[in-house]
Structures are given as structure tokens and as C-alpha cells.
Amino acid sequence: MQQSPLLKEFCEMFSRLRVYQISDQNLKIMTMNQLLDSFEDNELRTVLTKEVFDELYEIVTCKKLSMKNLILLLKHMGYCKALRGLRISGFKKSALSNCFSELIENDEKNGKIKLDLCECYCLLYDYGVGYVPHKICVPCPMKVAINKEESEKAQKDVEDALLALSSIGHFVV
């Protein structure tokens, strides 16, 4: 199968994620996110695979990618997936999903990082959410969704939280 120029560019950037300097990663990920927006459904499916999520897990655990940049990429992947209504099980089967589940379950803090982890988990995990993450992943974005602050940043956070919550169909006990 012939890769489109956009998919080829994304794959090249993805394969180089571990060699980019941390300072350059943010800019590269922003470019990758723009490419994701331009993908056809089949191209997006090519990117949202277990292998890609496992590779991201490896890159993060080797400290070649910051958690902030990982979340920036994953939230956008999940956002694109959710807006197109795609059902993809790549994240659910990945080591990254297990890592996120443990981080969500064991993190005592209830800050921005936990909210970001919950949103990524909800947007990317298909066919229900496991019980423990579910009991945390629903209240966390729910607190943001009921925010009545009217700033543009707060409204964007509310929209992200609502999209994450809308991605949860049911949960598995």
C-alpha cells in the first residue's frame, strides 16, 4: 500500500522522536498534530496502533520524550479519533495503557497531570474503561466540565473534558 506524503512525513517524524532534543520536541509534536488533522480515516488508523503506543511507552520510559510532550501528542490523537468516531483497540492493548492505568490509580494528587492522563485514557481507550480507572477518570474531567469560569482557556479545558467524558460508553468490571 502506497503511503500518502502526509503519512510518510508523520512516520518519519515519529521515528525520529527519540533523537530530537527535548527543546525541539514540542515544535515537532505540534507539526505532527497538524498532520494528524489532515489524515484520512485509514491513515489515522495506521497511526493508532498498539505498536505505535508501545513505541511511545518505550520512548517515555527511556526519558527520550517528556510526559508533557507525550500528553500533547496523545490528547490530539485521541481528539482526532473521537471526532471521527473511530473504534480502535490499539491503545487498550498497549503497555502505555497499562502504565496510564497504574498512574491514574496510584497518583494521590488531583492536578493537571492527572486530568491530562484521564483525558488521554478516555479518548484513546475503546470498548469501555476498566473499573478502577473509570471511578477516577469520570470524576476528574467532570470537575473541569462543571467549571463556570468564562475565560477562553477554561472553556477549552471544559470542551476537552466533555469530549473525554463522551468517549466513555460503558465500563468493564
The string of DSSP codes covering 121-173 is HHHH--S-EEHHHHHHHTHHHHHHHT----SHHHHHHHHHHHHHHHT---EE-
Measuring CA to CA, how many Å separate 155 from each of 66, 68, 112, 127, 160? 26, 21, 15, 28, 9
CA distance 95 to 66: 17
Which residue, chain included where needed, has cell 496510564? 100
pTM, full prediction: 0.79
Q: Report the chain's C-alpha Rg in angstroms.
A: 16
Average pLDDT over residues 19-38: 92
CA distance 171 to 85: 18
Which of these ranges, 43-57, 70-84, 93-107, has the smallest mean pLDDT? 93-107
**Domain limits at 67?**
5-172
- Axis-axis angle for helices 112-124, 152-166 (nearest 10): 40
Please state the domain count of the chain. Answer: 1
Name the percent of the chain lying above pLDDT 70. Answer: 76
DSSP-derived letter for residue 110 is: -
Task: Write the pLDDT tens digit of every residue in 106-164.
Answer: 766 657 788 888 888 888 887 554 544 566 666 666 666 666 666 777 777 777 777 77
pLDDT at residue 29 is higher than 50:
yes
Average pLDDT, the chain: 82
Task: Write the pLDDT tens digit of every residue in 52-80.
Answer: 999 999 999 999 998 899 999 999 999 99
Which among 152, 94, 7, 172 is positioned nearest to 74, based on CA atoms? 94
Average pLDDT over residues 92-116: 81
Check residue 171 and give its pLDDT: 42
